[in-house]
Structure 1
């Protein structure tokens, strides 16, 4: 009787779990700082993400748009209490503004929100999402730096080996952003959700720990002040640093 050929098995993985992210963490960069989202951030951010001129920001979100500040405050309060996702406010490191109510420090202008979600320390997998970038943050070095800071924290500090990015398949800007940052396209989940009464197919992207060192190097080179001229224009695109 012929001996049975063993089934192929995956490589042995160190069983150490990753750490859970904390909303008490403060991620400080050159252009932006990320802090745990709190109810105090609702009022400063609301003018930049509300009104007809900003309604398009919510097209691919599970929530919004908001035309009532009180409803938005309730939404932020719920996010403050959430343990998965864990939400962060993105603060501009530009000229400081007055201290936010309820905060024990002077903060930069609140220009956006980001989160870690689908947090799985055992399998060392985590996702970035619920990104809400105001027009003040979009297409700025700070927008890229916010993602760099979250990536670096997840891989270098918390010990994750897989970092996910998912978006509505119709959200072309989000897909372009993922590819620009160095994420790899993994596939399409068809009829994944029903959002606001509409079908959502979801596109999946990821960065894994083996890829992170080279992606990190490229991001740091792009973010270096030497890569920008006196008018703030980039000298080289981020993709060029990965070539």
Structure 2
């Protein structure tokens, strides 16, 4: 959309009419073809997610996360209880529909209700989930909820600027790289420069169509192998 000009011939942003404050995420179930997102349940999801968050998880999975793997199931149960009650972030478990097992988590967070911005974060995948169509569909379902259902104008992805897999994932999913905030955070006794990515509402329809084309069952063999890569859709 093009900028406009005021009476002083100064360029100003395009009009946003009838804007209203957005709502917090509250939906407990987001249903897809291959997976569903369930609001974190500290009892139902405990055993499966302890395999993702616990001592059996790969230590390299935690390099760019603010958490460390949980060595104690009781402590982890308390953590799940806490995040299950959180409004922001609003946490989901990613459930494989074929097995019914939770394979990871993600969350909607840093919501700005007045301005209509929201971020996907706490993306923690098991090795079993990584690079699968379930992982892609989980991101698709969350974006649909944030942009289509809740009406947010800006959907964000942020990560450590040195986290190359996360940066590649954002671009693959259709996020636009916006730049790096230097010295943005201190975590794990080290500096973090933060890479910023976003999808805005005016470009979501194109991104959504691309994701739906890739996720369509016709794009996969009987063994679940993709026929076309997402960047080919």
TM-score, normalisation: structure 2: 0.92
For 2:75 and 2:217, the matched residues in 1 are separated by 40
Aligned mates of 1:29, 1:179 — CA distance in 2: 22
Indicate conservation of the 8 Å contact 2:52/2:125, yes or no.
Answer: no
> Aligned partners of 2:14 and 2:209: how far apart in 1?
27
1:1-243 equivalences under 5 Å are: 5-14=8-17, 15-22=19-26, 24-40=27-43, 41-51=45-55, 53-95=57-99, 108-241=100-233
Partner of 2:3: none
Gaps of 5+ in 2: 1-6
Q: Which runs of 5+ in 1 are unaligned?
A: 96-107
1:69-116 CA-partner distances (Å, limit 9, x unpaired)? 122112111111211111011111013xxxxxxxxxxxx101111000
Post-superposition Cα deviations, 1:136-165, rounded to whole Å, max 9, x if no partner, equal 211110000000000111111111110000
Question: Contact 2:62–2:68 at 8 Å: present in 1 too?
Answer: yes
SS of the counterpart of 1:210?
A: helix
Contact 1:50 1:67 in 2 (8 A): yes
Indicate the RMSD between aligned Cα atoms, in angstroms. 1.4
Shift of residue 212 of structure 1? 0.4
Question: Number of matched residues?
Answer: 225
| Stretch deviating more after TM superposition (141-150 or 71-80) | 71-80
> Normalising to structure 1: TM-score of the pair?
0.88
Asked whether the equivalents of residues 49 and 57 of structure 1 are also in contact (C-alpha less than 8 Å), the reply is no
Shift of 1:52: 5.8
